[in-house]
Amino acid sequence: MSLLELKEEVINCTLCPRLSKYIRNPSVPKPRRYRGEKYWSKPLPGFGDPRAKLLIVGLAPAFNGGNRTGRMFTGDSSGNWLARALYETGFANKPESIHRDDGFELIGAYITAVVRCAPPQNKPTKEEMENCNPYLVSELELLKNVRIILCLGSLALKGTLMALKKRHPEAKLRGLRFGHCLLYSPEGIPYRLMTSYHPSRQNTQTGKLKWKDWISVFERIKRVLEEA
């Protein structure tokens, strides 16, 4: 399978009835500024540089973000924080991610998620995470240059560890706890793992995640990649 074939498989996925119904339901309330806009309303594939050394894993698309625009971390405040940090550290060609046709490109990075459909209240079930996990396993197989996996949030780490256990059954992955800007080098996998708070409004507007702490994650990743 190629990344293009995987992309088509993800877009056409209907494994989770609850999520499939939710993202396609025209009666789900939308902010006034987006009313009348045609939503993507399909599962979202990962995107980025196929030669990426950095793989960024989120939890799931936001209903009015990626589910609206058709690209991960695009069209909302979380996407803006991520795009700006990637641009300032050389992983993107521009500081804003607005829509899938805006010319935003990743350089040496790839963005994906453990769940490909926007879940109600941003809470996928365990079964939904398990249904989606083979897609992340396939990305790990296809993205052969990845050296660091950045997990944005504790559930992103959980889903990533689930995929790594399938891809590398002998890997020693126990004891990896979630925290901000933690870096791990687990035995048995060709990657280093880093964890970070997600740049959601819940974290950025409350001050739990400050810009200096957020940008430091990518500055550290860049240093590690340069030293490798």
Q: What percent of the chain has pLDDT over 70?
A: 100
d(CA 219, CA 131) in angstroms, rounded, equals 34
| Res. 83 pLDDT band, cuts 50 70 90 | very high
| Res. 36 pLDDT band, cuts 50 70 90 | confident
| Res. 93 pLDDT band, cuts 50 70 90 | very high
Which domains can be identified in the chain, with CATH numbers? 3-24+39-227 (3.40.470.10)
Mean pLDDT score, 76-87 = 97
| Res. 155 pLDDT band, cuts 50 70 90 | very high
Say what the pLDDT of residue 127 is: 98
**pLDDT digit string, tens, across residues 134-152:** 999 999 999 999 999 999 9
CA distances from 64 to 77, 101, 149, 184 (A): 11, 17, 26, 33
Say what the pLDDT of residue 27 is: 87
**pLDDT digit string, tens, across residues 185-201:** 999 999 999 999 999 99
Residue 30 has pLDDT above 80, yes or no: yes
Say what the pLDDT of residue 26 is: 87
- Beta carbons within 8 Å of 224's beta carbon, 6+ residues apart: 147, 148, 183, 192
The mean of the pLDDT values for the chain is 96
d(CA 161, CA 42) in angstroms, rounded, equals 25
Question: Cβ(46)–Cβ(111) under 8 Å?
Answer: yes
Say what the pLDDT of residue 9 is: 98
pTM of the model: 0.97
Say what the pLDDT of residue 88 is: 98
d(CA 218, CA 208) in angstroms, rounded, equals 17
Residue 228 has pLDDT above 80, yes or no: no
Name the nearest CA neighbour of 143 among 171, 109, 99: 109
| Res. 98 pLDDT band, cuts 50 70 90 | very high
Mean pLDDT score, 83-111 = 97
CA distances from 156 to 1, 40, 61, 182, 214 (A): 24, 23, 12, 14, 17
| Res. 89 pLDDT band, cuts 50 70 90 | very high
| Res. 15 pLDDT band, cuts 50 70 90 | very high
Residue 1 has pLDDT above 90, yes or no: no
